[in-house]
Structure formats: C-alpha cells, structure tokens
Chain A
Amino acid sequence: QVQLVQSGGGVVQPGGSLRVSCDASEFSFSSHDMHWVRQAPGKGLEWVAIISSAGNNEYYGDSVKGRFIISRDNSQNTLYLQMSSLRVEDTAVYYCARDFFSSGLDVWGQGTTVIVSS
C-alpha cells in the first residue's frame, strides 16, 4: 500500500549533525511535493520544510533555516532531511509527509525520534 518508511534519527550532541531518510512506496513519488514536520515532546506540530516534486525548490521554517537541508532522490524514491548545528530545542519526533496538492498532508511516515543532548 501507499506508505512512507522512515529511518535514521537517534541521539546527538548539541552542535552535531544527523540525517533522517524517508522511503516512499506504491505511489508516484516524483509527482508530489514532500514535507518534513516535527513534534517536540508533549508539544504540537511544527512545519519544518518542503521540497518541490522535481527537487528544484525548497522552503524552510524560520527555526531551522540555514541549519537543515531537505533533499530528494526521485530515482530512489527517497526524501532526506540533513540536520546540522543541532540544538537541544530540535529534540522531536520528525515526520515526513506527502503533499496531496491542495488537500493536505495525506500520507505520513511513522516518525523518527531525534534527541539532542549532551
């Protein structure tokens, strides 16, 4: 079935780097914009970044701009989030999600936990 399977994540020290991945299956990955959304422990959803279907446009939330890079490999049906200069406040569950045009984020990955701690 249509799904997004995430990998990566873990524990990293402040100032460190980490990459999370999101593998898409059973849909035309290259036809959809893709997003990253995060949720800090006990908090609400925070939009992180979007990449266009062709991978030639990206936008970021202010809290991660200049530190995170969203990318994709349409030949491998994979979405990435490269996180650098990590801060304690970046600790969260990170979700990848499919943009279903104007209808919202209709397919979500299972979530990947990133903990930034010394």
Chain B
Amino acid sequence: DIQMTQSPSSLSASVGDRVTITCRASQGISNYLVWYQQKPGKVPKVLIYGASTLHSGVPSRFSGGRSGTDFTLTISSLQPEDVATYYCQKYNSVPPWTFGQGTKVEIK
C-alpha cells in the first residue's frame, strides 16, 4: 500500500505568516492528492483537489503544489480562522484511500 507521510505534525505561527505543510507519498500518485481542513468539532472540508485546484469557495490564500511525490499546502497569510487540523489524502482510485497523519495549525 502507498503510505502518506505528513509533516510537521503541528505548528504554531503568527497571524500573517506564510505556512507550508508537506505530504509525501511512498509511490507515485500523479496529481491525485486532496487536502482537507478540519476545524475543532467539525467535519472535514475539501480545500484542494488534484494537488493544486482550489475547491469552490476556498480563500485564495490557500494553495497546493507538487514536486514528484512531495505535495505542499501553503497558507500565504495565516488568519485566526485557519486554526484547524489539515489532512492530505491520496485519491488515485487504487485502494486504500489513505490519509496523512494530520497537521495541527495554531496561532502563536
């Protein structure tokens, strides 16, 4: 099975900071990578699919990138409402549809 390794597991940054989260796939998955945001006590929401396509309604400060099997989620200017845990998920129609371990983002 393909493993998805997310880093860091948590981070603390100031409002306005640029924040980057990384997700590494153990094998190639092309662009089949989705990023989710889960706020405390809420269900997850899609932020980005296809590694870099912003889901409808998601603020433009969120962006996704890919270099080989390394994927990034970047928040260009961290806002208080971005406090959440972020997950990547492989989505290439080959089971299992594995999630990364999650990255908890807090405000410093």
A interface list, Cβ under 8 A from B: 35, 37, 44-47, 50, 59-62, 95, 100, 102-106, 108-111
Complex Cα gap A102–B32 (Å): 7
Q: Which residues of chain A have C-beta atoms less than 8 A from B38's C-beta?
A: 45
Quote the shortest CB–CB distance from A15 to chain B (angstroms): 25
Quote the shortest CB–CB distance from A88 to chain B (angstroms): 21
Assuming the contacts A102-B32, A104-B55, asked whether A47 and B49 have C-beta atoms less than 8 A apart, the reply is no
Question: B61-93 CB contact bits vs A (8 Å, 1 = yes)?
Answer: 000000000000000000000000101010101
Contact B98 A47 (CB under 8 A): yes
Is chain A's interface secondary structure helix, strand, loop, or mixed overall?
Answer: strand
Closest to B95 in A: A59
Q: Interface size for chain B: under 10, 10 to 19, 20 to 34, or 35 or more residues?
A: 20 to 34
Closest to B48 in A: A104
Partner of B55, one of A61, A102, A106, A109: A106
Contact A104 B36 (CB under 8 A): yes
Partner of B34, one of A37, A59, A103, A109: A103
Contact A44 B46 (CB under 8 A): no
Q: Which residues of chain B have C-beta atoms less than 8 A from A103's C-beta?
A: 34, 46, 49-50, 53, 55
Contact B44 A108 (CB under 8 A): yes
Contact A104 B95 (CB under 8 A): no
Contact B91 A104 (CB under 8 A): yes
Complex Cα gap A47–B36 (Å): 13
Q: Which residues of chain A have C-beta atoms less than 8 A from B98's C-beta?
A: 47
Contact B43 A95 (CB under 8 A): yes
Q: Which residues of chain A have C-beta atoms less than 8 A from B36's C-beta?
A: 45, 104-105
Partner of A110, one of B43, B55, B96: B43
